[in-house]
Amino acid sequence: MKTTLMKIGLMVILLCSITGCWSKVELDQRIFVNGVFVDVGEEPGTVKVSISTPLTNRLDSDQLSGGGGGKDKPYSLITKQSTSIGKALEYIHKDLSRQLSLSEIKVVMISEQYGEQGIGDLLEWIKREPDVPIGAYLLVASGKLDDAAHLTPIFEQLPTTVLLSFATQGYMLNTTIKDCLVADAAGLGYAATLLQNDKIHSAADAHKSETWTGIKGAALFQQGRLKGTLPYEEAKTIAWAYGHLKFPIYSVQWDHGKSKADLKFTYTNGKTSVKMTPNGPVFTVHLKGRASIIAKKDASHRFVKDVSGTIMNQMRETVSEDFRKSIAYSQQIGADVLQLGFLLEWNAPQYWQQVKGKWPEHYKKDAEVRVVTKLSLDDYGKEY
């Protein structure tokens, strides 16, 4: 009898567990947002918000992967503006036949102009909107955000897939919303990938042009405000110091510019340390890498082994100089994008307590940042 009652109780528990969700929304009643674009509004004090969503009724497995030549695009971009991001999304939502789902957002893109005004409202909205994943990547558009939002996905079906690749392939920075929130809470800076727009001839019609988007450099933030930008070559060293840079190519010259070589790095790594001195902290950024020579032109027709030492010396000088320029600019605008303040908090907590309230100004005027490069050759290319 006791065994029978236990079996019945177990069956009741199992039946209760498969009753489903009381407040479920079917998939065919949802619109999944995978990209959000935020810009300043046309009226003072307003914000313009666009959402990018896939159109599942147009996503066909037999369709070509590229979206540039398709007549019916498999995605939609809807734009509204209001006094806040939440209000703009409400205006978008009220005109739709399905319920918005923000849990699939992969990319949050802002314009330079919006970043210069400050992204505090954006971060505050994300903190208070539980459906938005803080693992979404932050990107910055140079120029018109509308052009970047309407980019032509030549090799993909969705524009957000292209933008996601810029954030995850390691050619620049992979800054997430979580990184921004943590840095802002600590009073430190951060850097995000800066994109630029261009026009190219359409693959489907040579008389038409399409929007092409690519990496321009890095956008530097401090206290939730865009302070400045770095060009591509100098921005690469910031990504290198973060440890996010993959396969960079550098060009060096010697013999007064008559000889030159191109090197492709197959491995890069960055590490930062701090040492307390009587004059204050001294930060050292260690940039390590291994490279392969992919092109060489020597005016004296010497073998690559005979000039490899010269090539590597020039390589170390080039990388060090690019890094010094990027750090000097970050100090000029007071943006601790390498988050050196965290090192102070971990290694010298008492000193950090003295300077954390005025750290941006301290970083701007008093921080000493050095660079040490440890670069080597993997091979000499096909010459050997």
Instruction: Tokens for 165, please give them.
Output: 């690749």
pTM, to two decimals: 0.86
Domains of the chain: 29-55+74-238 (no CATH), 247-383 (3.30.300.210)
List the single range of 46-60, 165-179, 336-350 with lowest mean pLDDT.
46-60
Q: For strand 280-297 and strand 259-277, is the pairing parallel, antiparallel, or unpaired?
A: antiparallel
pLDDT attached to residue 184? 94
Quote the pLDDT of residue 157. Answer: 76
Q: What percent of the chain has pLDDT over 90?
A: 62
Average pLDDT along the chain: 87
Q: Residue 148's pLDDT band (boundaries 50, 70, 90)?
A: confident
Least confident range of 2-16, 88-102, 205-219? 2-16
Higher per-residue pLDDT: 12 or 354: 354
Cβ–Cβ < 8 Å for 85, 113: no
Instruction: Give the position of tokens 């096909």.
Output: 382
Which band of pLDDT confidence, cut at 50, 70 and 90, is reported for residue 309?
A: very high
- Residue 64: band (very low, low, confident or very high) from pLDDT cuts 50, 70, 90: very low
Number of helices and strands in the chain (H, E): 12, 14
Question: Any idea which of 50-54, 271-275, 348-352 has the lowest mean pLDDT?
Answer: 50-54
**Nearest-angstrom CA–CA distance, 264 and 262:** 7
> What is the average pLDDT across 51-61?
71
Distance in angstroms (rounded) separating the CA atoms of residues 91 and 311:
59
Give the residue-averaged pLDDT of 167-181: 94
Range 169-179 average pLDDT: 94
